[in-house]
Amino acid sequence: MGALSNLDTSGFSYADFPTHLTYVQDIFRNIYGQDIYLEADSQDGQLCAAFATALYDTNQTMAQVINALSPVYVQGAQQSSAVCLNGIQRLPATASTATLTLGGAAGTIISGASAKDTNGYIWDIATCTIGSGGTVTALATCETVGAITALPNTITTINTPIFGFNSVTNASAATTGLNTESDSALRQRQLYSTAISSITVLAGLYGALLAVTNVTRAKVLENATATTDSNGLVPFSICAIVEGGATQDIINTIGLRKTMGCNTNGTTSGTYTDAYGMNTPIKFFMVAYTPIYISISMHQYAGYTSTIATEIQNSLIAYINSLAIGQTVPYGRLWTYANLLGATDSLTYSITALTLGTSASPTGVIDVPIAFNYASQITASNIAITAV
């Protein structure tokens, strides 16, 4: 396509749409004369635009095909296929679950029932029987797959009435499911997965843990000294902190990858049995969470809506919940995400104050440190936005 696109040692590049349109118009003028009228309100002008669009779309497709060959740029279904070469796969969405307390007449069988939360989400209740005390606890699974949250006492409506089934509630918050792994998260995990075959034991263990099914984050520490370190890790030991995944899968991965005689640390424990039947006790930490609260005061301008408030919350949630295990929550950087990274909607308000903390009504204006085996976590209900 001549000057419209080029493939060389620096990669594939192509011109913008106006350049494509000018290219087609020049061809028309060479054929029909320089005085041909090609403005947008003419039939010939519209035909030029149609040809230019076809050429531009073709170059965009070529760029996508070429970029799909690189793990840095590949997206979507092509990315899902490409990462199989690294022995990993895109993490599917999972459903949130909640423990419900059901009330009613003793002996009532609850089967095929569901409950509804205050946001309208439906939760399917596992088959159970109300006990002699008039209550029973049962596991409920959200019908909508993904990161659906439910705070305590928000699943309170019986969606499928059953005679003898009178009440439902959740005393504790639901266990939030996962959205389908994003392209950026999978790209990062693919990068780390290349460490599985590394020659360093620590890097190899880190890569292997990230490749375990349903593991979303991991961290590996080492205490190579003869004394207990500041994190409480015993001498000559390693420590794995993991988010997601099955306990035994993680234990097997640590047991397979660690060196002989190396101690392990953690509050979750189990046994790794090797191919020869030898048993090794293994410990690790399932990541715990430090709740983060943010309070924002702002002036609102023309064009501001409640939808923009939701955009601000989602921007902060995506950033804070993506921080690495043990990573400090940086106060100063939150202003950038609260201002939507400079997007057009950020022009409809002006933030006058932003405070941060680990409890409701936060007052802090400094970074929040996170323990080595914790990760920061925030939900929309933890972000208060007030117009002043």
Question: pLDDT tens digits for 302-361?
Answer: 999 989 999 999 999 999 999 999 999 999 999 999 999 888 899 999 999 999 999 999
Mean pLDDT score, 19-38: 93
Q: Evaluate if residue 197 carries a pLDDT over 90.
A: no
SS (H, E, C) 9-62: CCEEEECCHHHHHHHHHHHHHHHHCCCCCCCCCCHHHHHHHHHHHHHHHHHHHH
Question: pLDDT tens digits for 104-114?
Answer: 999 999 999 99
Helix, strand, or coil (residue 336) = helix
Asked if the 195-286 domain carries CATH number 3.30.300, the reply is yes
Q: Evaluate if residue 95 carries a pLDDT over 80.
A: yes
Residue 2 has a pLDDT of: 53
Q: Evaluate if residue 1 carries a pLDDT over 80.
A: no
Residue 199 has a pLDDT of: 66
How many whole angstroms from its chain centre is CA 137? Answer: 30
Residue 231 has a pLDDT of: 94
Split at pLDDT 50, 70, 90, the class of 271 is very high
Question: pLDDT tens digits for 286-302?
Answer: 999 999 999 999 999 99
Question: pLDDT tens digits for 39-74?
Answer: 989 999 999 999 999 999 999 988 888 877 777 777
Residue type, 66: I
pTM: 0.58
